[in-house]
């Protein structure tokens, strides 16, 4: 009876273990299928990640090239700026002397000047130059009477000289003045004995003309500097766009990297579950085999 009971118990255990084995095989098949699915998903994400990395790298190289171009233009702008400032600095003394010459003028000596009925020729030459400059070469009448009219309101005349736009003078205007300024006696020292005010105006004319020469000599360099600055502004805008693109792509890449890491972790977890299930199934199968052998032995008892 005891032997039969053991036999019966063993048979039930064998049947239960066999049933468990069948169930575990189904679970294992499900785990393997899920593991394959997660592996395929992770591999697809990896391919997408690699492609995205290539895109980001291309944009990084473009941004680096844009940055190098900006640096080169900035360097050129610095050189052009230094050259322009150095050349314009040469004209600064003329501005100082022109201003100093105007500071010698006042209502008294200008009033005295305009009262001349028939001034010396060199004084008239000075005033012809003043009329030409103040009208930017458009004056038809450059006579002494025309000069006196310009000085009719002394305060206004002096203010006009002090706010005179020297940069706006045309080449034709300067060409009209040159025949007078080239004369040997056209200087403040020579004219001082004839008219203090005319001497001051003479110095103003001489320095305005010289300032114009330097200013327009530098103009091509100033134009080049302006072009360089415009080019730099455009390059800066391009660089900003490139950096924005890289930033956006990097954010997308980081998000994709995080997604891949999550998918890889999930794949590894499912694979670990499948392996554990496989190990348990193997153990159960060995147990069934052992119980089956034991069942045969029981039948022989």
Q: What pLDDT digit, counting tens, does each position of 163-189 carry?
A: 999 989 999 999 999 999 999 899 999
pLDDT value, residue 34: 81
pLDDT value, residue 216: 86
Task: Over range 97-123, report the average pLDDT.
Answer: 92
Q: Is the pLDDT of residue 245 over 80?
A: yes
Judge whether 232 and 77 are in contact, CB under 8 Å: yes
Q: Is the pLDDT of residue 15 over 60?
A: yes
Model pLDDT for residues 37-49, shown as the tens digit of each residue: 888 888 888 898 8
Q: Is the pLDDT of residue 198 over 80?
A: yes
Q: What is the DSSP string of 280-295?
A: HHHHHHHHHHHHHHHH
Q: Is the pLDDT of residue 257 over 70?
A: yes
pLDDT value, residue 3: 58
Residue 136, Ramachandran bin (φ over 0: left; ψ between -120 and 50: alpha; else beta):
left
pLDDT value, residue 285: 79
Specify the residue for token string 């610095």: 78
pLDDT value, residue 247: 94
Helix (H) or strand (E) holding 273: helix 196-300
The burial class, CB within 10 Å (0-12 / 13-18 / 19+), for 191 is buried
pLDDT value, residue 8: 65
Instruction: Please compute Rg for the chain using Cα positions.
Output: 50
pLDDT value, residue 138: 95
pLDDT value, residue 164: 93
- Backbone dihedral angles phi then psi of residue 34, each to the nearest 5 degrees: -65, -40
Q: Is the pLDDT of residue 29 over 90?
A: no
Task: Over range 60-72, report the average pLDDT.
Answer: 93
d(CA 27, CA 273): 10
pLDDT value, residue 225: 87
Task: Over range 192-208, report the average pLDDT.
Answer: 95
Per-residue confidence band for 160, with pLDDT thresholds at 50, 70 and 90: very high
Mean pLDDT of the chain, nearest integer: 88
Tokens of 178: 């040159």
Task: Over range 200-224, report the average pLDDT.
Answer: 90
Residue 269 or residue 10, greater confidence: 269
Q: Is the pLDDT of residue 300 over 70?
A: no
Judge whether 118 and 194 are in contact, CB under 8 Å: no
Q: Is the pLDDT of residue 297 over 70?
A: no
Q: What angle do CA 228, 70, 89 make, to 5 degrees?
A: 40
Per-residue confidence band for 287, with pLDDT thresholds at 50, 70 and 90: confident
Is the CA virtual torsion 140, 146, 149, 150 positive or negative?
positive
pLDDT value, residue 31: 78
């Amino acid at each position: 009876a005891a032997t039969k009971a053991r036999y019966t118990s063993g048979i039930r255990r064998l049947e239960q273990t066999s049933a468990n084995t069948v169930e575990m095989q189904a679970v294992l098949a499900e785990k393997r299928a899920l593991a394959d699915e997660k592996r395929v998903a992770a591999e697809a994400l990896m391919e997408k990640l690699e492609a995205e990395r290539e895109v980001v790298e291309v944009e990084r190289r473009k941004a680096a090239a844009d940055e190098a171009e900006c640096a080169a233009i900035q360097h050129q702008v610095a050189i052009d700026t230094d050259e322009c400032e150095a050349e314009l600095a040469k004209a600064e003394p003329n501005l100082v002397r022109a201003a100093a010459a105007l500071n010698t003028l006042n209502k008294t000596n200008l009033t005295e000047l305009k009262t001349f009925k028939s001034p010396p020729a060199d004084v008239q030459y000075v005033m012809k130059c003043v009329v030409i400059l103040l009208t930017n070469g458009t004056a038809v009448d450059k006579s002494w009477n025309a000069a006196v009219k310009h000085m009719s309101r002394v305060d206004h005349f002096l203010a006009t000289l002090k706010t005179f736009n020297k940069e706006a003078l045309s080449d034709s205007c300067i060409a009209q003045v040159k025949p007078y300024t080239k004369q040997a006696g056209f200087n403040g020292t020579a004219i001082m004995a004839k008219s203090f005010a005319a001497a001051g105006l003479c110095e103003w004319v001489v320095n305005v003309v010289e300032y114009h020469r330097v200013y327009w000599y530098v103009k091509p360099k100033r134009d080049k500097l302006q072009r360089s600055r415009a080019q730099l502004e455009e390059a800066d805008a391009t660089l900003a766009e490139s950096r924005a693109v890289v930033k956006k792509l990097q954010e997308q890449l980081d998000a994709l990297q995080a997604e891949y890491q999550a998918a890889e972790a999930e794949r590894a977890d499912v694979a670990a579950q499948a392996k554990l299930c496989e190990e348990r199934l193997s153990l159960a199968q060995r147990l069934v085999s052992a119980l089956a052998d034991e069942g045969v032995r029981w039948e022989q008892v």
